Structure 1
Amino acid sequence: MSLISVKNLSVAYGANTVLRNVDFQLDPGEIVTIVGPNGSGKTSLLRAIIGATKPAAGTVTLKPGLKIGYVPQRLHIDPTLPITVERFMRLTGKVTKADCQTALEAAGVPSLLKRQMSQLSGGQFQRVMLAHALINHPDVLLLDEATQGLDQPGSAAFYQQIESVRRDTGCAVLMISHELHVVMSASDRVICLNGHVCCEGAPEIVASAPEYRALFGTGTGGALALYRHDHDHNHDHDHPQSHEAAE
């Protein structure tokens, strides 16, 4: 059974229809990325899935008992607020220090437990947000532009961590991103959205689809191939750049 099933979904804000007749499903263990230009309805789809936006038409069906971990695009924490990573993570409810430590290890930042949230770099902050999403052992991770503001090595390292999480926990991942060159190589399936589903499939298929190229141009295919090579190289040779980005 699919974890998430979207049928004939339309979303409207007043007279403005932002999504029309979207069909989508997420199966156990897969990484699916949604790409599309600004205003294409990507975040609206995520909001409909988590129940924050009511569909104008169609249905969203979640597998019974489905646990979702959510990594937002950004979260502002007052820099003058003294709150440690551990305390921030324990705001979710009844979790132990050991739970926090395990989640931080899964997110690739095991040494941050006692650090102040205000002292974290952008990359560290996003890793803590990832750990926060992992703490209750979700079946699905939802990421809304989770690497916004990170540089390319930082983004690449973050997405490699997502692949590690999927490998180690078996959770499915649904993410929105504008970083085509990085995300496409980390995905099993890509959905190109522009108010409706323009095209979907394996990354290589979508990158060569006329609908995709009409939106994003033809340069991405070369970047995708280049990143795939570097991505494999990182795995084979433990490229130091990925460790720097994680810090």
Structure 2
Amino acid sequence: MLISSHGLSVKFGSHLILDNINISVSQGEIVTIVGPNGSGKSTLLKTLIGAISPISGHIERSESLKIGYVPQRLHIDETLPMTVYRFLTLPLRHSKSRIKQALEQAGVANLEIQQLRSLSGGQLQRVLLARALLEQPSLLLLDEATQGLDQRGTVDFYQQIDAIRKQTGCAVIMVSHDLHVVMRRTDRVICLNGHVCCEGVPEKVSASPEYKALFSLDDEDVLGVYRHHSSPIALQEGRLNVG
């Protein structure tokens, strides 16, 4: 087990954000967390990495755990001149060969001399992914890392994550609104709404009453998810968004 939470609860002021969360992630596993806005998905990730302290419960981490974190977005001052290479050397310096390898793993080789401000949204997200890969993590955390990407860019990004998992053996926790896209790339889904509503393989979760009630879906919507899962063409059309 790489990381697990036990009875994890988080409160902001008087508002309970997470209540009694028990999850675990094993080496090489891809776990996707879905839920409506305000359900505590980002809070859970930030608690797992230690950026937020729980009011109760605890987190167990393996001694070998190394975490790479990809945020939703990065706000860049457009007047700030900074190359991709310079960005990837902050705050810790890495060798040119390691930076080159991380960019190749993220699918954006040869971007070292590009200015950050000149990158497209998809390129920037992959540079953030490369940054997360620099320390050769055993666990990647992706907090809606495809937000703002078009359907094709989203599909390509998740394919890259799957390739990285196969190449490095790292585990992945993804927060996503795109269950129809990640269906083919995830081993397990956790449905969150302040607490764990349901979890399991994608087919089981998407057909569960708890999932359908949370996202106000009917059986025809769920059938659409299965069509996405079985058809690469339908997968790219994006007929269902769960957030």
Contact residue 5 and residue 62 of structure 1 kept, 8 A: yes
Q: 1:161/1:202 Cα in 2 relative to 1: closer, same or farther (>3 Å)?
A: same
Give the equivalent residue in structure 2 for 1:110. Answer: 109
- The 2-side partners of 1:188 and 1:62 are apart by 20
Equivalent positions of 1:1-247 (< 5 A) are 2-216=1-215, 217-218=217-218, 220-231=221-232
- The 1-side partners of 2:107 and 2:133 are apart by 12
The normalised TM-score by structure 1 is 0.90
Report the alpha carbon displacement of residue 39 of structure 1 after superposing the two structures with TM: 1.0
Report the alpha carbon displacement of residue 220 of structure 1 after superposing the two structures with TM: 4.5
Report the alpha carbon displacement of residue 221 of structure 1 after superposing the two structures with TM: 2.5
Query: 3-state SS of the aligned residue for 1:181?
Result: helix
- The 1-side partners of 2:107 and 2:227 are apart by 25
Letter of the structure 2 residue corresponding to residue 135 of structure 1:
L
The normalised TM-score by structure 2 is 0.92
Query: 3-state SS of the aligned residue for 1:185?
Result: coil
- The 1-side partners of 2:234 and 2:148 are apart by 25
- The 2-side partners of 1:227 and 1:100 are apart by 36
Report the alpha carbon displacement of residue 181 of structure 1 after superposing the two structures with TM: 1.1
Report the alpha carbon displacement of residue 41 of structure 1 after superposing the two structures with TM: 1.0
Report the alpha carbon displacement of residue 61 of structure 1 after superposing the two structures with TM: 1.2
- The 2-side partners of 1:131 and 1:45 are apart by 23
Query: 3-state SS of the aligned residue for 1:87?
Result: helix
Cα-to-partner distance string for 1:156-206 (whole Å, 9 max, x where unaligned):
110000000000000000010111211232110000001110000000000
- The 1-side partners of 2:200 and 2:85 are apart by 39
Report the alpha carbon displacement of residue 233 of structure 1 after superposing the two structures with TM: 10
Query: 3-state SS of the aligned residue for 2:50?
Result: coil
- The 2-side partners of 1:27 and 1:106 are apart by 22
Unaligned runs of 5+ in 2: 237-243
Q: How many residues align?
A: 234
Mean CA deviation greater in 114-123 or 219-228: 219-228
Give the equivalent residue in structure 1 for 2:241. Answer: none
Report the alpha carbon displacement of residue 113 of structure 1 after superposing the two structures with TM: 1.4
- The 1-side partners of 2:57 and 2:124 are apart by 36
Among the aligned pairs, what percent are the same residue? 55
Letter of the structure 2 residue corresponding to residue 170 of structure 1:
G
Contact residue 138 and residue 171 of structure 2 kept, 8 A: yes
Q: Which runs of 4+ in 1 moved over 6 A?
A: none
Contact residue 181 and residue 220 of structure 1 kept, 8 A: no
Q: 1:45/1:82 Cα in 2 relative to 1: closer, same or farther (>3 Å)?
A: same
Report the alpha carbon displacement of residue 9 of structure 1 after superposing the two structures with TM: 0.8
Query: 3-state SS of the aligned residue for 1:11?
Result: strand
Unaligned runs of 5+ in 1: 240-247
Contact residue 228 and residue 234 of structure 2 kept, 8 A: no
Report the alpha carbon displacement of residue 7 of structure 1 after superposing the two structures with TM: 0.4
Contact residue 227 and residue 234 of structure 2 kept, 8 A: no
Cα-to-partner distance string for 1:115-147 (whole Å, 9 max, x where unaligned):
111111100010101001001100000000101
Report the alpha carbon displacement of residue 66 of structure 1 after superposing the two structures with TM: 1.2
